Amino acid sequence: MRHYIKLIIFLLFFQFSFGQYTEVINSKRPGFSDSPYSVGTKVYQVEGGFFYKDVGNYLYWEKIGEVDGEPIHVQNQYSSSSFGTDITLRTGQFFERLEFDLDLVFQNESRDYTHPDVYSISELGLSKLTFGAKYLVYMPEYKDKSKEIHSWKARHAFDKKRLIPAVAVYVGVNTNLLDNLHKNPDGISPRFAVFTQNDLSNRWVIITNFIMDKAFTDESENSFIFTSTYALSEQWSVFGEGQAFFRKNIPSDFQFGGGGAYLLNNNMQIDISARMIYDQYENNSYIFGGGVSWRLDRHHDKIIKKENKLNPVEQTLKDHDSKKGFWAGVTGIFTFKWIKSNKNSKDKKMREVKTSKVKKRDIEAPVNKKANKAQKKRNKELVKRQNKKEKAEKKYRKKQEKY
């Protein structure tokens, strides 16, 4: 069971523990969802990979102006292909429940427009640059059923408390330092999210994300992510994910993806994934990717000092000192020494009296004298017989030598 608990800690993009820090890396890759748990204080983590995306006959509406307060939109349609890298930097600072992150995507995209005009355009640069922070609001605690020895049924029964998820809130800022194809006409925009996680078993975990991205702009989008992960072994894990986008001028779409991850060591994992996107105009897109996650672990657990348990005499003197001040403390030291020495002397006398009155007796088993005498006689007879044999052999050898 310990191995499976250890495995769940690293699974792709979630974390299960009673604290934020874990001995095994906690990566969001390769899924798009995020766990409510942080990486832990003094942990610096890099998650990056390469991807290829193919978009076919993508149709959307673009706002070009207003007439009498009414927006004017133009229909655009294009096909594109792009490749690049997505990188996430994560670190925990100040509190175990708090995490800061930076998400960026650098890609080369080529678009072929077919409506309203026919032309091609290509851009190389940032398509995403977002700073954010998340905080764990609620973390559930589950029963340790490994200690249940009285009932097999109770030990393997489903714990209904697992239906209560861990919850975190996220606040971020989408910068507009992007290439021309991905700039937001309204500029910088906020990003809000709520992350939840249910550990249904030691192998199976469910994550849900509710995201409001590019809020308060014409390109705002709300999305919902549902991710299911399952541990096959200590190193291997797989996941399935569904995501739904709801937008204003850009068509809403539904994404379905899957993949797996392999744990190389406690601080590194590799992954691979594939994803298909369907939008409301039946335009299909495909994304293929793979990457690696690595962390620099500088985490140190906090040392909790336990209070020393004092005996009654020490506790009395401690209370006396705290109430009477410095001179009471000085006199209290000598008083304590006198009481302690007097007490030790009494204890010593009591021990001496008690030990002197104790009757001593041997704990060895009693000896059978008759049996010992009989054994001695047998030993003497055996020695005599052996001596006779030796004398007889000597005589026989002498006679053989004469002849």
pLDDT tens profile 207-241: 999 999 999 998 899 999 999 999 999 899 999 99
Query: What is the DSSP code (8-state) at residue 161?
Result: G
Q: Angle formed by the axes of helices 326-357 and 312-324, to 10°?
A: 170
Query: Do 206 and 98 fall within a single domain?
Result: yes
Please report, to the nearest 10 degrees, the dihedral formed by the alpha carbons of residues 112, 114, 115, 117 taken in order: 80
**Into how many domains does the chain fold?**
2
Q: Are 14 and 204 in contact (CB under 8 A)?
A: no
Mean pLDDT rounded to a whole number for the chain: 80
Report yes or no on 181 lying in a domain: yes
Query: Do 340 and 275 fall within a single domain?
Result: no
Q: Are 239 and 27 in contact (CB under 8 A)?
A: no
Report yes or no on 244 lying in a domain: yes
pLDDT tens digit sequence for 165-209: 999 999 999 999 999 999 998 899 999 999 999 998 888 999 999
Report yes or no on 68 lying in a domain: yes
Query: What is the DSSP code (8-state) at residue 23?
Result: S
pLDDT tens digit sequence for 253-305: 899 999 999 999 999 999 999 999 988 777 789 999 999 999 998 887 665 55
Report yes or no on 48 lying in a domain: yes
User: Domain with 100 in it: what CATH number?
Assistant: 2.40.160.40
Q: Can you give the residue range of the structural domain that contains 342?
A: 312-349
Give residues with Cβ within 8 angstroms of 98, minimum separation 6: 38, 92, 133, 134, 135, 136
Report yes or no on 192 lying in a domain: yes
Query: Do 80 and 131 fall within a single domain?
Result: yes
Report yes or no on 368 lying in a domain: no
Report yes or no on 397 lying in a domain: no
Query: What is the DSSP code (8-state) at residue 24?
Result: S
Q: Give per-residue burial for 315-346: e unless 16+ CB within 10 Å, then b.
A: eebeeebeeeeeeeeeebeeebeeeeeeeeee
Report yes or no on 360 lying in a domain: no
* pLDDT score recorded for residue 315: 52
pLDDT tens digit sequence for 235-263: 999 999 999 999 877 778 899 999 999 99
Query: Do 210 and 326 fall within a single domain?
Result: no
* pLDDT score recorded for residue 334: 41
Q: What is the mean pLDDT of residues 127-137?
A: 97
